[in-house]
Structure 1
Amino acid sequence: MEELKKRLIHLHHCRGIGSKGILKIMKIDSELKNLYQFSISVLQDITRISSENFSKFYYDLHHLDLTKILTIYSTHNISCMTIFDKEYPFILKQIYNPPLVLYTIGNTSLLNYPSIAIVGSRKGNEYAKKSLEQLLPLLVKKRLNVISGLARGVDTIAHQMTIRYGGKTIGVLGSGFFHIYPQENRMLVENMKKGHLLISEYPPSTRPQKWHFPMRNRIISGLSKGILIVQAEERSGSLITAEYALQEGREVFAVPGNMMESLSKGTNLLIQQGAKLVLTGEDILAEMNI
């Protein structure tokens, strides 16, 4: 493995330091050639992290056995992709704060083809199913990958229905691969390992944390040409994803709903603010020039 890639992956596994700290080190040592030669005081001065976090970081930097870790990943068909690799998706590099390392299981060639993100409420109901039954067949026929976040509700419906219609789907996790969340999607995840793609910016042993999920949303929107919101409450993670999409210049689509229902308030608000109202698959394809 190329030394820069190996050292970046090593840094990514160290406790106590996040992407900001890693970028500070790379600002001083862009190819990480001196990573293991820095003195404690120099590294403390560069990273500016708390003494407690620094102790964890410095210990892991000099004690983690990366070869052993990567061997375990290999037995689980987990690959590591860094921002310096040629296969790293160019479209994702363009976002603010792109992930430095991606962990993947499955068909990474899907990253070379256009995708649409489909997200919505964890309480997604029969209306979400009926809406996607009307919209997905044409998107699948046009070979658009469907990206979502493997959450309960609309995300799960989008993944499952795409597979049922013979399409390809990409799941972006808010945890490491060894801690699938929610647990009820374990079978879906196993199914997606065969011919589809799973992505996480978190090392496989990372347990899900509340703040991981808004961060995951920037990858969902960052990998897609457009994003479709199906059922969302007025304050919802789906709207965070839509906000990321707007910031990155992606197309934003929304399925309208009954104005008396809470699950329609977010999507109707997006339409009011300029999102494309969607009634058919053609509405999406026309806007995305596909």
Structure 2
Amino acid sequence: MEKRDKLIRIHHCRGAGWKTVKKLLDLDPELKHIDDMSANDLCHYLKMKREHANRFYYDLHSFALEKYIHSYNKNNIFVMTIDDAAYPSQLRNIYDPPWVLFGKGDKSLLNSSKLISVVGTRQPTQTARLSMEKLLLPLIEDGWTIVSGMALGIDGYAHHIALKFQTIAVLASGLYHPYPRKHHDLFQRMIANHLVISEYPPNIPPQKWQFPERNRIISGLSQGTIVVEAKERSGSLITADQALDQGREVFAVPGMILEPNAAGTNRLIQQGAKLVIDANDILNELNRNALI
């Protein structure tokens, strides 16, 4: 069995987090010996707890890859590993790229040269919605694909604005469990004409810790991240921090100092994010970077 298949098998095992897979690849870059490792070996080499090693070992040796791949194909779900030629180069170059991606829709969007992410609060003001239309419509008309997390609020509205053009959603759950449920219709439209991806196997339900984890994919796919509205302690600021760590641009929409939803974005600007009041502020910065 080749490395690609083994990587997909490993990704379906309980206990196979990003760091565990990284240790495995450091130990055995081609995964030639993974099937020969005992639970004791997993404990010793990967520093796994006994119960985690036992679960991982059981899953690895009981997983029926062909059965799952057949099911995914039947449901029009593609599986992509980091070694595949079609894997997005922008994402491959971050510190912690997902080893495997599962997707449904137009996977060619992943290698678009113009990807920009939009994040923000789940409870946006009307001002935020108007600001998004002012900022995003010119970007979309210029050929930019909008990337977001399909969450309520800013994320969902960003996708809706882009539905007549191109947009990508990154889920914090598997494709069989799209979240939130309120966006069921949006999800159906996205998989029909756009793209939805996740690093989690399709049968994985949403869990709290997966949301900040997926944010690195949203920022990692994109040349820049626009934060529209965010409170002082917001998950959107995690995405902004990850974008900065990845060497990407962060754009922030300013707001009134009395507006709680503007506290996070104003703080980003104070810390060096680019203040944007129209699409040209974003385009000029991205075009300037492309020339460097």
Determine if the TM-score, normalized by the shorter chain, exceeds 0.5.
yes
Q: Is the 8 A contact 1:21 1:47 kept in 2?
A: yes
Residue in structure 2 matched with residue 118 of structure 1 by the alignment: 118
- Structure 1, residues 133-180: CA drift from partner, whole Å, max 9, x if none? 1112210111100000111100000000111xx220000000001111
Structure 1 range deviating more: 185-194 or 41-50: 41-50
State the 1:273 CA deviation.
1.4
Give the counterpart letter for 1:25 in structure 2: L
State the 1:204 CA deviation.
0.6
Aligned-partner SS, 1:170: strand
**d(CA) in 2 for partners of 1:43 and 1:215?**
24
Residue in structure 2 matched with residue 186 of structure 1 by the alignment: 184
**d(CA) in 2 for partners of 1:252 and 1:142?**
19
State the 1:81 CA deviation.
0.7
Task: Give the TM-score of the pair, scaled to structure 1.
Answer: 0.96
Aligned-partner SS, 1:103: strand
**d(CA) in 2 for partners of 1:273 and 1:18?**
32
Task: Please give the root-mean-square deviation of Cα atoms over the aligned residues, in Å.
Answer: 1.3
**d(CA) in 2 for partners of 1:147 and 1:87?**
18
Residue in structure 2 matched with residue 133 of structure 1 by the alignment: 133
Q: Which runs of 5+ in 1 are unaligned?
A: none
State the 1:37 CA deviation.
2.0
**d(CA) in 2 for partners of 1:107 and 1:287?**
28
- Say whether residues 1:233 and 2:231 are aligned partners: yes
State the 1:96 CA deviation.
1.4
Residue in structure 1 matched with residue 195 of structure 2 by the alignment: 197
- Structure 1, residues 179-224: CA drift from partner, whole Å, max 9, x if none? 1111001110100012211110100111111110111110000000
State the 1:283 CA deviation.
1.0
Q: Is the 8 A contact 1:253 1:277 kept in 2?
A: yes
Q: Is the 8 A contact 1:125 1:153 kept in 2?
A: no
Residue in structure 1 matched with residue 84 of structure 2 by the alignment: 85
**d(CA) in 2 for partners of 1:112 and 1:97?**
18
- Structure 1, residues 58-78: CA drift from partner, whole Å, max 9, x if none? 111111111111111111111
Residue in structure 2 matched with residue 149 of structure 1 by the alignment: 149
Residue in structure 1 matched with residue 15 of structure 2 by the alignment: 16
Aligned-partner SS, 2:202: coil
State the 1:38 CA deviation.
2.4
The residue correspondences of 1:206-225 to structure 2 (distance < 5 A) are 206-225=204-223
- Structure 1, residues 200-257: CA drift from partner, whole Å, max 9, x if none? 0100111111110111110000000011001100110111110001111111111111
Residue in structure 2 matched with residue 66 of structure 1 by the alignment: 65
**d(CA) in 1 for partners of 2:40 and 2:250?**
48
Structure 1 range deviating more: 30-39 or 272-281: 30-39
State the 1:116 CA deviation.
0.6
Q: Is the 8 A contact 1:17 1:49 kept in 2?
A: no
**d(CA) in 2 for partners of 1:36 and 1:227?**
41
Q: Is the 8 A contact 2:14 2:56 kept in 1?
A: yes
**d(CA) in 2 for partners of 1:51 and 1:184?**
40
Give the counterpart letter for 1:195 in structure 2: N
State the 1:42 CA deviation.
2.4
Q: Is the 8 A contact 1:17 1:54 kept in 2?
A: no
**d(CA) in 2 for partners of 1:42 and 1:136?**
52
**d(CA) in 2 for partners of 1:9 and 1:212?**
19
Identical-pair percentage: 48
**d(CA) in 2 for partners of 1:105 and 1:82?**
15
Task: Give the TM-score of the pair, scaled to structure 2.
Answer: 0.95
State the 1:17 CA deviation.
2.7
**d(CA) in 1 for partners of 2:26 and 2:262?**
45
Residue in structure 2 matched with residue 288 of structure 1 by the alignment: 286
State the 1:111 CA deviation.
1.5
Q: Is the 8 A contact 1:120 1:230 kept in 2?
A: yes
Give the counterpart letter for 1:152 in structure 2: L
**d(CA) in 2 for partners of 1:282 and 1:90?**
26
Residue in structure 1 matched with residue 243 of structure 2 by the alignment: 245
**d(CA) in 2 for partners of 1:40 and 1:287?**
51
